[in-house]
Structure formats: structure tokens, C-alpha cells
Amino acid sequence: MKSRLAPIWPPIVVGVLFMALWEGMVRLLDVKEFLLPKPSSIVQAVGDQWTPLRIAGWETGKTAVVGLLIGVIAGALLALVVSRFGWLRGSVTPLAVALNATPIIALAPIFNAWFGITDFRSNAAVVIVVVFFPVFINTGKGLSEVEPNQIELMRSLAASETTVLRMVRIPNALPFFLTSLRLAAPLSVIAAIVAEYFGGPQNRLGPFITQNASFSRYANAWAAIVVASAIGLALFAASALVEKLAMPWKRPESITA
Amino acid sequence: MKMSDSAIVATGIGKTFNGNTDNAVVALDGIDLTVEPGEFVSLIGPSGCGKSTMLRVFGDLISPTEGTVEVFGKSAAQARLDRDYGMAFQKAGLFDWRKVSANIELPLELAGWSKDRRSYRSAEMLSLVKLQEFADHYPWQLSGGMQQRVAIARALSFEPKLLLMDEPFGALDEMTREHMQVELLRIYEQLGTTVVFVTHSIPEAAFLSDRVVVLSPRPGRIHSIIDVDLGKRDENTRESAEFFAMTTEVREALRSVEAMS
Ligand SMILES: Nc1ncnc2c1ncn2[C@@H]1O[C@H](COP(=O)(O)OP(=O)(O)O)[C@@H](O)[C@H]1O
Ligand SMILES: [Mg+2]
């Protein structure tokens, strides 16, 4: 069978061209480092700051992954409970959709008050909440949006609601769930870093960025952003792989980023 | 009322959707129909005249607001719990995540058959619908006509006493459709089930049925029942004078339905 993922070369070529253009423009127009450092300076900063960046990246990555896992599991489980008990669906789901439209990230300072300003849990809590809603809403959609004829078929075969959930709704929701996972994975890194801007332990990417920026060491701040992007991409790639492995029945071209 | 040996005895069926509201719809009214075991009965009529509703009432997927349905001498609800029904719809409705064989085995799983018995039966059904080599394919790898054949194999896998079909060939092109009709008759004769078949195609109803029930709309009532006797049917039947006469009779019944509404 053909590879299920799009070829990897075109985006890399475009990326390299973009970097070259960036480097060229900054040199040509003599842009100040504090406005926009050259890619070469950022690469050098990654090298110079490797030890603190590695530690900060590891810690922020842990916050993102722990929050991602808890948020995803909680979102999927609650979606299951809500779909099993119809009377919850009409009340809980619209509420979740409304909450999902609010800037949840603004809760960060409040979690600092709850868990303590230097506690890693206040950051993880932001990640959990940010990840939870898209997973809950999408999984719930997949559990409820089953072809009516398929439900009728199951009923005509005297299947119980629990059997329908197990044999039809859950497999039907799997693509929805995995899509939400793929969206939530990079979101978890964003949420972790923004939460870290507001508080939490100091040896993280968020404080690394704010501190270096306040001392005008912009190349260092950008270096941290590069590390954060790498973590986000790694999580995205991992969830795309899970998506591919978990659904061998999928039509190849239907999995796209 | 005597306990009957009939496949279906529907007495005074009425179905009103959204009763007691402003948008109440009387979908069925005063339906009396008896279907004998082994009979092939088609329901035909203009769109919205209540064909699907009638089929769902027979299958205990919705309950009538008036009247009773008896299926093989018991209530429709009991017949459903006894797994007397096989169903097929216009959309094949195969489960994407199940291979073709596993789709066919779904009713058998629900009925608690052992794995060996299930795979033996799905292989049998696959050869019946002439798709042996597709057992391990996923539904998306099959054409619409092949998917519909799998859906029919699924509906028949557990040898239900009564097959309820709602425009199962409605989405197929004309040639595939005619081919599927011949296939369905072959399987039907081989298994000796009873079939209630909803269609809006006049030649389809005439070709397949022992009786064609013509419905009139708003409210859905039985306008007339046409007996068909074309004997053993094959592709040549479609070009015979008898077939032409039958389609004409069904067409005229439908015209008088149209004229009424
Ligand atoms: N669940 C429902 N709620 C309200 N009205 C319905 C429902 N199902 C069918 N109807 C109405 O009942 C009538 C008969 O529908 P249906 O049995 O689907 O017709 P057909 O299958 O002959 O096209 C139509 O007017 C339709 O709008
Ligand atoms: Mg219909």
C-alpha cells in the first residue's frame, strides 16, 4: 500500500527557502536584532544556551504531555458518559461548546491562586482545560453522529444501548477523537508556555523567554521558541502516527494534516 | 382473534407523527395487510406516502398510534427480540471499521454464534452474493453495488424469517439495479424467506413481487393490491408481454393515486 502521509520534502524545501529569505532580508535591510534576529543568530543561540534550553524544554514538555494525557482522557471519558445518558447531552454539550469559545487560557492566574504560584500543577491545569474541550466536543460528535440506518439496523437485531455504544458509537467516534488529539497535541505546548508566562516553576521555557526578552537577549528568546516548536511538532507527529496505526480501515487519502 | 400462521397481520394501523401539535402528520391510516410466509410483497407509492413508516412499524422500529401488528403469531416487539427481522436500506450502511466478512458476521455476533460458525457462515453468504474474494476488504474498497450485496448478505446471514428492505437498490445505476434484482430473487428462492420491499420503481416492483401494494398519500392508505404472476423470472422476463402488462397495471394504479391527490 502507498504511504499514507503526504511527502515530507515539499514543506522542508519551502521552509529552507523561507529561512534563507529571512536571513537575506534581515542582512539586507539591516533589521535590528531586538526586532527580528537572523536565523543564523537563533541557531547559534540554541547552541550557546543548549543546557538551560534542554532542561527547560524537558520540563515544559512534561507539563504539556501530562496535561495533554489527562485532558484527553477526561474529555473522552466524559463524552462517553454524556452519550450513554441522553438527558445529559442536551445540557452538558451546549455548555461545553460555549465554554470552548471562551479564552480559557485567561484562567492561568486563577490556577496560580489555587495551586500556588510556583507549582507545576497550575500550569498543567491550564493545559488540561485547554485540551479537554476540543476532545470532549469532537468525541461527543462522533458518538452521536452515527448514520440513523445503522442504529435502526442494530435495534432490529435487538442490540441493547450498551451494545450499540460498544459496537457502533465508539468505533464511529474514533476518527473524531483522533482528529481532536492531533489538534490538541500542539495546543498543549502553547497552553503550557502561556501558562508559564503567568507563573509556575522558573526552569521552564515560558520564564526563559520572558527573562531573556526583558534583558533584550532576543536571539535566546527565539531559541526557546524554536525548542517549543520542536516539542509541538514531535507531539503532533506522535498523534498523527497514533491516528494512522489505530485506524487500519481508513481510506489512505482521508488522513491529512 | 385467532393466532395466525401468517408472516405479518397488520390490522387497522395508523401512525400520526407529532400528534397533538400544529405540525401533526398522519403518515398512515387504516392499514390492513396480511403477508403470507414465503411471499414477496412490494410497497409502492409517491414519495412521502408512508412506505418507510409502514416498514418501520412492521419492524417495531416505531410503534403505531393505532392498530396492531402480529408477526408470525406474536407481537412485532417480540419478533424483534427474537431476531426474526433482517433489514436493508437504501444506504448500505456497512461499518467502515469492519472488514466485509466481519460486517456480514455482525448479526451472528449479536446472536452469540461461535467464531468458527460465524466465519463458516460468512464464507457461505459471500459466495451466495458472489463476493468470495472480498472477505478481507474494507467497505471503502467496494463499489456501491458490491456494498449493497454485502448489506443483503448481512441481512440474510442469520436466516431471518422476514426480510424488510427500504429501497435497497435506490442508489444504484440502472444496469446494476437490474442485476441485483435477479440476484435477490435467486437468494430469496434459495432461502425461502418472506420479503417486504419498499420501492418507487414500477418495473422493480413488477419484476420482484408476488403482490404489489399501491399506497396513496396524506394520509397513507392502501389504494389497491395488484397480484403479479410472472412465473420464473430472468433477464428475458423484462422484455415479455406479461411483464409489460404488469408494469402497465401498476402504472395505472399509481396514476389514479396521483389524480386523487
Ligand atoms: N420521524 C418523523 N417525524 C415526523 N414526520 C415524519 C417522520 N417520519 C416520517 N414522517 C412523515 O411521514 C410521512 C411519510 O413518510 P415516509 O414513510 O418516510 O414516506 P415514504 O417512505 O413513502 O417516502 C411524510 O410526510 C414524512 O414527512
Ligand atoms: Mg422512504
Helix (H) or strand (E) holding A19: helix A9-29
From chain A, pick out residues whose CB is under 8 angstroms from the CB of B106.
157, 167
Question: Is the Cβ of B168 closer than 8 Å to some Cβ of chain A?
Answer: no
Q: What is the pLDDT of residue B52?
A: 96
Please indicate whether, in this complex, the C-beta atoms of B87 and A152 are within 8 angstroms of each other. Answer: yes
Ligand 2 center from residue A202 Cα (angstroms): 65
Please indicate whether, in this complex, the C-beta atoms of A152 and B107 are within 8 angstroms of each other. Answer: no
Helices (H), A120-217: 120-144, 148-156, 161-164, 170-198, 205-214
Q: What is the mean pLDDT of chain A?
A: 89
Ligand 1 atom with the smallest distance to the CA of B167 is 21
Q: What domains, with CATH codes, occur in chain A?
A: 38-256 (1.10.3720.10)
CB-CB neighbours of B107 under 10 Å: 28
Model pLDDT for residues B23-65, shown as the tens digit of each residue: 899 999 999 999 999 999 999 999 999 999 999 999 999 999 9
Q: What is the pLDDT of residue A11?
A: 83
Please indicate whether, in this complex, the C-beta atoms of B80 and A156 are within 8 angstroms of each other. Answer: yes
Question: Is the Cβ of B170 closer than 8 Å to some Cβ of chain A?
Answer: no
CB-CB neighbours of A5 under 10 Å: 14
Residue B226's SS3 state is strand
Confidence of residue B259 (pLDDT cuts 50, 70, 90): confident
From chain A, pick out residues whose CB is under 8 angstroms from the CB of B55.
none
Residue B16's SS3 state is strand
Ligand 1 atom with the smallest distance to the CA of B54 is 17
- B222 forms beta bridges with B215
Please indicate whether, in this complex, the C-beta atoms of A249 and B107 are within 8 angstroms of each other. Answer: no
Q: How close is the nearest chain B Cα to the Cα of A158, in Å?
A: 5
From chain A, pick out residues whose CB is under 8 angstroms from the CB of B107.
157
Question: Is the Cβ of B91 closer than 8 Å to some Cβ of chain A?
Answer: yes
Confidence of residue B2 (pLDDT cuts 50, 70, 90): low
Q: How close is the nearest chain B Cα to the Cα of A206, in Å?
A: 42
Confidence of residue A120 (pLDDT cuts 50, 70, 90): confident
Ligand 1 center from residue A142 Cα (angstroms): 26
Q: What is the pLDDT of residue A2?
A: 46
Question: Is the Cβ of B135 closer than 8 Å to some Cβ of chain A?
Answer: no
Confidence of residue B258 (pLDDT cuts 50, 70, 90): confident
Residue with cell 492531533: A182
Please indicate whether, in this complex, the C-beta atoms of B61 and A167 are within 8 angstroms of each other. Answer: no
Residue B3 has pLDDT above 70, yes or no: no
**Can you tell me the mean pLDDT for A181-197?**
94
pTM listed for this prediction? 0.88
Q: What is the pLDDT of residue A1?
A: 43
From chain B, pick out residues whose CB is under 8 angstroms from the CB of A250.
96
Kindly list the protein residues that place their beta carbon closer than 5 angstroms to ligand 2, a single-atom ion. B 52
Ligand 2 center from residue B42 Cα (angstroms): 13
Confidence of residue A5 (pLDDT cuts 50, 70, 90): low
Q: What is the mean pLDDT of chain B?
A: 93
Helices (H), B173-240: 174-191, 202-208
CB-CB neighbours of B26 under 10 Å: 16
Ligand 2 center from residue B47 Cα (angstroms): 7
Q: What is the pLDDT of residue A252?
A: 74
